């Protein structure tokens, strides 16, 4: 584990750090590497390029932990417009096997934190998005946030998924509960995006050491591969990608029966290599002006990105 990770994730809550990053010319290129733009038109341009290269997309309108009803409503409105814009894009270069277009949503952006009614509001908003997405031929996957939201998020998905079988769930391998969650989702034949997990979590709920997280990832992946679920291998880790390829071969899964998923701007060469050998590759593309929490999680994952970060903090 990167020793600076807790400090960087703590900085995710700092207004001063956020102001510095937002105004410093040093950090602008770093932000652009991970977030192609703040507007929908910038997002559409990036998505068009990815689709033309044969990679599917999952688009995230950035925002999280909303405590304001108007903001949650605005997020829903933006997603509805986004689904419209995505549906107009040319997807002919993406291989068959799954919808080339998808949106990723955080329930905390859709109202989950709006007091006691929050979970119900977020669930209803998720249903609104799924209804629109179904009309447009776009799929939806629900992101996984910090562990205090896990039970509520999985409950919302359980409620909505019977009407939208393609509704995807994200599982974080670092949580102790995740192997059991994978078993439940595998039994239901769900689409499951398996990632390591990006939040700072206590040892009461999550593995703390890289080797333990990697082992847990492989246990979860094995459960999914052996089932009728669709495993969505969300990792840039070469060892896990190779293991996924082996497990898929052993389970008799062809290229259209699982997905390799990576974040925009990370290991683009590997995305292209996998797509080139006929795999279904999906790139998670975030956009919007609420990029700060997302960027902090990317910095915490990768010590090499810290140089930019520290320079930004010391640039007047």
Say how many residues touch ligand FDA, by CB under 6 A.
24
> Kind of pairing, strands 101-105 and 259-263?
unpaired
198 belongs to the binding site for ligand FDA (CB under 6 A): yes
Q: How far is the CB of 209 from ligand FDA (least distance, A)?
A: 12
Residues 238 and 231: their CA atoms lie apart, in Å, by: 17
Q: Which residue among 60, 143, 181, 214 is the active-site one?
A: 143
Q: Kindly give the residue spans of alpha helices, DSSP state H, lying in 12-61.
A: 15-23, 28-34, 40-52
Half-sphere exposure of 267 (CA within 13 A, CB side): 21
150 belongs to the binding site for ligand FDA (CB under 6 A): no
User: How many other C-beta atoms are found inside a 10 Å radius of the C-beta of residue 7?
Assistant: 11
Residues 292 and 17: their CA atoms lie apart, in Å, by: 10
Segment 206 to 265, residues that bind ligand FDA, using CB under 6 A? 234-237, 261-263
Q: How far is the CB of 316 from ligand FDA (least distance, A)?
A: 27
Residues 228 and 190: their CA atoms lie apart, in Å, by: 8
**Which uninterrupted H or E stretch holds 191?**
strand 191-195
Kindly tell me which residue out of 37, 197, 231, 293 binds ligand FDA, with binding defined by CB under 6 A. 197
Return the number of the residue (33 or 69) whose C-beta is nearest ligand FDA: 33
Q: Which stretch binds ligand FDA (CB under 6 A): 126-134, 183-191, 273-281, 296-304?
A: 296-304
Q: Is 143 a catalytic residue?
A: yes
Q: Is 250 a catalytic residue?
A: no
Residues 221 and 240: their CA atoms lie apart, in Å, by: 10
Closest residue to ligand FDA, based on beta-carbon distance: 236
Kindly tell me which residue out of 183, 305, 306, 313 binds ligand FDA, with binding defined by CB under 6 A. 305
Residues 119 and 113: their CA atoms lie apart, in Å, by: 7
Return the number of the residue (3 or 115) whose C-beta is nearest ligand FDA: 3
Residue positions annotated with a catalytic role: 143, 193
Return residues touching ligand FDA (CB under 6 A): 143-144, 170, 172, 193, 195-199, 234-237, 261-263, 266-267, 284, 298, 301-302, 305
């Amino acid at each position: 584990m990167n020793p600076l990770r807790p400090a960087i994730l703590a900085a995710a809550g700092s207004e001063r750090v956020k102001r510095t990053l937002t105004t410093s010319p040093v950090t602008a290129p770093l932000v652009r590497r991970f977030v192609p733009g703040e507007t929908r038109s910038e997002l559409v341009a990036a998505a068009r390029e990815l689709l033309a290269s044969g990679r599917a997309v999952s688009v995230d309108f950035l925002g999280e932990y909303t405590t304001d009803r108007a903001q949650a409503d605005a997020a829903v409105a933006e997603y509805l417009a986004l689904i419209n814009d995505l549906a107009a894009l040319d997807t002919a270069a993406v291989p068959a096997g799954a919808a080339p277009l998808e949106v990723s949503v955080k329930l905390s952006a859709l109202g989950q934190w709006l007091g006691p009614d929050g979970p119900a509001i977020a669930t209803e908003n998720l249903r609104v998005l799924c209804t629109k997405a179904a009309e447009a031929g776009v799929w939806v996957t629900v992101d996984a946030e910090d562990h205090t939201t896990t039970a509520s998020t999985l409950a919302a998905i359980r409620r909505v998924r019977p009407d939208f079988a393609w509704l995807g769930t994200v599982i974080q391998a670092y949580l102790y509960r995740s192997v059991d969650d994978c078993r439940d989702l595998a039994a239901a034949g769900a689409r499951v995006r398996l990632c390591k997990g990006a939040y700072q979590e206590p040892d009461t709920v999550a593995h703390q050491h890289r080797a333990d997280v990697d082992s847990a990832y492989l246990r979860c992946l094995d459960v999914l591969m052996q089932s009728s679920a669709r495993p969505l291998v969300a990792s840039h880790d070469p060892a896990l990608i190779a293991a996924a390829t082996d497990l898929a071969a052993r389970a008799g899964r062809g290229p259209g029966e699982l997905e390799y998923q990576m974040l925009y701007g990370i290991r683009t060469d590997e995305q292209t290599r996998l797509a080139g050998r006929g795999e279904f590759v999906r790139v998670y593309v975030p956009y919007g002006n609420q990029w700060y929490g997302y960027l902090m999680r990317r910095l915490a994952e990768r010590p090499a990105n810290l140089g930019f970060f520290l320079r930004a903090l010391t640039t007047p």
